[in-house]
Structure 1
Amino acid sequence: MDKSWLILIRDRLSLRYRAGVDAFIEFARVNVGGGSTIRCPCNKCINLDWCEFGIVQDHFVRYGIMVSYKIWLHHGEWPDNQHGDSGDDRDESKDDNRDEYPELLKDHCRETYMDDDDVEMDHDVRNFKKLQEEREMYPGCKNFSLLAFAVKVLHVKVENRWSNKSFDMVLHIFRDLLPEGHLVPELIFETKKLLRDLGMGYKHIDACQHDCALFSKENMHLIKCPVCGESRYKFIGGKGIKIPRKVLRYFLLTPRLRRLYMSRKTATEMRWYRDKCVYDGIVRHPTDTKEWKEFDLHHPEFAQEIRNVRLGLASDGFNPFGNMSNAYSMWPVILMPYNLPLWLCMKESFFMMFLLIPRPHAPGNDIDVFLRPLADKLKELWDNRVVTYEASKK
């Protein structure tokens, strides 16, 4: 669709400008749905107010449309439809629907061995090499490796909200269907273990039941809380079986950040805030705020590298058992990469859960005890930067 009238035509009473307004209204009427109102993107309403179509047309003439509103997100247009100026971008847009798994596999391999080929491989690298060598899901299969199968079926499970029980039932069907010699896991536990072998799992950190301290680092070998003296474990029966009273789930941050640059498409989007963001005085993204600009002034060396990751943090509690009378709650700590465009950085698929805090009630001020692993990791990344393979630039 021709959008040149947004910028080139200053006379809002001209026939060409009015034709452009009519084209926008018709586009919104078709793509938004059957409602009688839409968000008004004029310079006064800036997509905050809902107005009838006739009023939107009037506002376009009186106030003009926001120049920076180039992708009509609120009116049915998707960012993928907006092609870049370069030939490479156009070529990539034709292949948006292709299967990127083989490319991701190659990029992950480059990332794994980029530092030094002679360095002794750690546990994650050995597991990845093993999975890469298992090319066939069953004798004669040319399309699926075990890793590809695990990634795709888990993706389908998440997208369609399958229960663990239903997922295991589907796995059993595959096991009965495929010929002997297949590699289909028997349970969801075994399927998830494949991803943990790639460094995408989580660790357990024991915590005091009163939230006084974590049993990690200097407290790792303690049996009692160093603050309140409460026992770290509770004992089951008379057999001497002990289990932690409270456990914090700690998800590895570094491999998740590195994987933001494994996909060529995502790696390109991670530079959006510098390459494609429009600065016109309107705050739409954290990069438009004065805090972001002041941070860049105080840390020019960090700001100079466009691919350094900027993170936002949020936490809130939820009842994992739904609207039942049980008052138990869990508190995930979520990180969001603010390098991404405004239509992606707050999208669920890019949320990274770093901590999962189990509690009967809200942690309140005691949440700082559980945030210590995150603070330590961020300090470590700030002082000792991690080098990774950037797929879009190779």
Structure 2
Amino acid sequence: MIIDKSWITLENRNSPDFINGLRNFIEIAKNHVDGRGKAYCPCRRCYNGCRQDLSIIYAHIHDHGFLLSYKTWNYHGEKYHNADDIEALFAPKTRATTTNDEMFNIIDDVMAEMNTNEESVDEDVANLDPEFDALFKELNTELYPGCSWMSSLNFLAKLMHIKVINKWTDSSFDQLLDFLRASFPKENRIPSSHYEAKKKLRKIGLGYQFIHVCINDCALFWKENKDMHNCPICNESRWVDRQTKGKKVPKKVLRYFPLTSRLRRRERDRVMEEMSRKMEEMRRLWERQHRHDP
């Protein structure tokens, strides 16, 4: 059901549209009260920081206005657009191999990328990059003793995914990791910091590259433009403070996630599937031709 929220921006809080919208909101809030019949108040004074009686919520919103930054009414039953994805990330699995499959695919992508960039590839498994050897080992390492449904590497990738889609700060993520490490058994494999987590994920291609961008989106300070201090199109400065003696801060940054290896893998799988289909057709044709041979 689509909820009409257009009324919350109306300046005239005595208008019929605002009053009708407010009444509809109160009807929604009735389904999300606590044991005392109180719900969170999203007025511009309470800021969803406390629960109030519905009559007080009505009066507060009418008098102070509705909190404009409250886009998703999660305190009143509405789910974030990615809520199902987050729930699916931590849905229990019956077998550890089920959660490991996706991570094996990721590592396979990275190794395919490395092999493509080499002139020759050694087929000897013993000569693989020791970091990848450690990652493959960690894929089969329990998050903590007795946790058979999720590996430590799989847990880390999903936790980082949640951080990104919810825009957590690095410091808040560090605090969460500290809490998890203290809450889980002492033999857990949870990283100690956001820096450590990023360092580990970069090894399997889950990192990203920072590229400075013109504040007006004219050009990227990349490749032939990487050493420029001003945009080649509008001549706008690249830096917040060009005269600073310390490390310069860019006005705008793009986070680039390389897709080459994954696209190459998809194309490879498509070609292999097509070859397999043609081989099957040839086999069936041969069988039909020789079915009645003596």
Could you say which TM-score interval applies, normalised by the shorter chain? 0.3 to 0.5
Give the TM-score taking structure 1 as reference length.
0.36
More helix as a share of residues: 2
More strand as a share of residues: 1
Q: If you compute each CA radius of gyration, which structure gives the higher value, 1 or 2?
A: 2
Give the TM-score taking structure 2 as reference length.
0.45
